[in-house]
Amino acid sequence: MYLRPLVRVVFVQKCFLSTAAGGSVSKGPTLWYHASDVPLTKPYDSKYKPSKPAEKFVKFSASDCRRLEGAFQKWSKSQKETKELTSVPVNEDFLFEVNIPKMVLKPTYWRGPTYEVRRGIWMNANNNPLAYELTAEIERFYAKMDSSLEGDKEQEKQDLFRFTQPYGKHRMVLFVDKTTAYLLPDLKGGELQLKLLRTNLIPPMGDKITRGSSSNHLTDAAASAKRTIENEIQGTTKQLGKLSDLISWELPSVFGMPDSKDSTKGNDDDSDVFKREIETDYDNDATTPQRDVKHLVLCVHGIGQNLGKKYEYVNFAHTVNILRTNMKKLYMESGKLQKMNRGDGSSDWRENCNVQVLPISWRHTVGFQTDATQPNKENPELPPLGDITLNGVLGLRRLLGDIALDILLYGEPYYRKRILDEVKKHLNDTYNLFKERNPGFGGEVHLIGHSLGSLILFDILCEQDDFKLDFDVKNFYSIGSPTGVFKLIQRTKIGSKQDEPEETSTSFQKPKCENLYNLFHVCDPISYRMEPLVELSMAQYQAANISHWSAGDGIASRVLEFGGSILKDIPGTAIKGQKPGNGKTMLPVDVVEKLTKLNRTGRIDYMLPPGFLEVDIIAAAKAHVSYFEEPDIAGFILKEILAKNHGNHDVIVTKLNRSSDA
């Protein structure tokens, strides 16, 4: 994927290098571009307005350009009659769409910044396309100029035109030939100045523009492509901003600690944050922009998304992009994963994992503002949060207000129902939109919930009569989840839909999914286990380990356990007949039967062991927010999605050392 700028250069050459005898550029596919440095709008910020015009534009892929131009021509002919809004899906996996009448690029499945779109008809000195309205007017004048050149030789040739409105400092356009023109201010020297301009006796006082692209532009583009390749060679995921970096530059200041080496990341200009995302998160030059998808994964965020109003770095869509990128990267490196996927009959099984991952952002639609200065819009008779917040350790209080209050909201019946309704609606809307955009999709749907999001999904899956989903759930991955402690407080056990009712004083919740996974980092202070809520005896056994990723061998068969021992199997997926040893034991058959009703592997709890010296508060906070950045998590989820159902098997577990915190 690091050669994609070079692909763009080759495409430009195909389109514009060949010239006709008269020197005009040959007719080739029209290139389309979108801005990447200055958004037109920002999510959740209705007051935002661009402070300057966009200056950085990125070309769409060849196939996107063809479809965009076709839709544009069709819309141009019919708009006066039907005024039909034309939306064209674009970019990797068609995750974005272009509104042709508005010339705007926006995400398809989530709320995000929107960007200006331009057709590459007339280019400025930086090889950027001119704005749509300016281009349209120049093209009208160009047609008049062209027809005058083809007319009677005695007729005066028309090459200067005044715009119907000013475009910045530009008031008119002077055509030099069929490929070159100048944007000019008002001519103070009158006809004499104009004659001098036409004869090139005085330097141009305007800005040169070119129809199509020149060889000099191609040289510049090739050099730019080379620089981009060199910058990207370090690896895509290293360029992606990580949510865990927020902890490095925000939390130390709250507690009065020295800033870490990453502290400058919080000072990025907002537009730079979005620019880095839209330029690095997606591979938009794939030959086939839309992959065949057999597994749709919907990810629900947890606490803290209100921070996105203050720090655009806290961007759940971007976080999910990292997970999607990691999955694709690991799949390309793993012959084992490819082999697991080969049997499904896909022709592109070597490079396509057939998994699509989309974000579900719900917090901003629930209400209850945590902004200190915002009035209470829902209940004007009540004060805003800032009016009851103490001034002591104000930074910490505000941080907790943006994060911890989400949990308090979920504990209040009014907001709990509101949250469940909103998340259910977002899930169904995203699923149905995906089906609409992918009419051939008939595959499986999986859910990932992080933090509070996992508790929300757990309750939705257990309360399908009230919060009905439009799809069945194959795998539910609960990540960094407090579900265990919530259910303990609620005196609730976890069971399977297949279980017979029991006479007990405790209540049961039974999530409607085929496989339930509870993934956590052992240093995560928010996470709790679930298996003891299914079967009390599981409290004496360690959680299964999540395998470490090995680039040379896919998902490695060796993992470093928290105790320091090296296991010789992938925990939780033991082979039938394997003999236990070294402190291991086989689970009783009746316990295995209980667990396999909730997960085909016979395990529910899976843990990431800590790195060395990960014991301070910064490491603990990072552990909770970094799951989507972990290749081990991406590899585990992908492996379990592609794995086929196992039959009955023995489950080997490790006795828990009560002196440890594992």
Looking at the structure, tell me whether residues 271 and 347 fall in a common domain: no
Look at residues 211, 245, 267 and tell me which one is the last residue of a structural domain. Answer: 211
The alpha carbon torsion through 359, 365, 368, 369 (nearest 10 deg) reads: 80
Note the pLDDT of residue 39: 93
Residue 15 falls within a domain, yes or no?
no
Looking at the structure, tell me whether residues 127 and 116 fall in a common domain: no
Provide the β-strand partners of residue 105.
98, 115
Residues 6+ apart with CB under 8 A from 312: 42, 270, 273, 274
**What is the chain's percent helix, strand, coil content, to nearest 5?**
40, 20, 45
Among candidate residues 612, 627, 605, 603, the one with its CA nearest the CA of residue 560: 612
DSSP string, 14-57: HHHS-B-TTSPBP--PPPEEEE-SS-SBBTTBTT---SS----E
Domain that holds residue 158: 122-211
Note the pLDDT of residue 288: 63
Looking at the structure, tell me whether residues 500 and 436 fall in a common domain: yes
The alpha carbon torsion through 496, 500, 503, 505 (nearest 10 deg) reads: 10
Note the pLDDT of residue 606: 97
How many angstroms separate the Cα of 64 from the Cα of each of 1, 79, 354?
17, 21, 21
Catalytic residue set = 451
Secondary structure in 3-state letters for 244-282: HHHHHHHHHHHCCCCCCCCHHHHHCCHHHHHHHHHHHCC
Looking at the structure, tell me whether residues 283 and 296 fall in a common domain: no
Note the pLDDT of residue 478: 98
DSSP assignment letter at 434: H
Looking at the structure, tell me whether residues 161 and 115 fall in a common domain: no
Residue 176 falls within a domain, yes or no?
yes
Whole-structure pTM value: 0.80
Looking at the structure, tell me whether residues 115 and 198 fall in a common domain: no
Question: What residues in the chain have per-residue pLDDT under 50?
Answer: 1-26, 214-240, 246-247, 249-269, 305-313, 551-573, 575-578, 612-613, 660-662
Looking at the structure, tell me whether residues 607 and 490 fall in a common domain: yes
| Average pLDDT over all residues of the chain | 76
Phi, psi of 54 (to 5 degrees): -65, 145
Residue 183 falls within a domain, yes or no?
yes
Looking at the structure, tell me whether residues 427 and 480 fall in a common domain: yes
Note the pLDDT of residue 130: 94
Looking at the structure, tell me whether residues 255 and 313 fall in a common domain: no
Among candidate residues 168, 171, 164, the one with its CA nearest the CA of residue 185: 171
Note the pLDDT of residue 192: 75
Identify the sign of the CA torsion 529, 427, 627, 412.
negative
Query: For residues 257 and 260, what is the distance between their CA atoms, to the nearest angstrom?
Result: 9
Looking at the structure, tell me whether residues 371 and 478 fall in a common domain: yes
Number of structural domains found in the chain: 3
Which pLDDT tens digit goes with each residue over 212-251? 754 444 444 444 444 443 444 344 444 445 555 544 544 4
Look at residues 254, 289, 324 and tell me which one is the last residue of a structural domain. Answer: 289
Looking at the structure, tell me whether residues 329 and 360 fall in a common domain: yes
Looking at the structure, tell me whether residues 277 and 318 fall in a common domain: no
Residue 220 falls within a domain, yes or no?
no
Residue 217 falls within a domain, yes or no?
no
Note the pLDDT of residue 227: 44
Residue 4 falls within a domain, yes or no?
no
Query: For residues 496 and 271, what is the distance between their CA atoms, to the nearest angstrom?
Result: 48
Phi, psi of 354 (to 5 degrees): 65, 25
Residue 427 falls within a domain, yes or no?
yes
**What order do you get walking across the sheet with 170-175 strand by strand?**
122-123, 207-211, 180-184, 170-175, 160-167
Residue 147 falls within a domain, yes or no?
yes
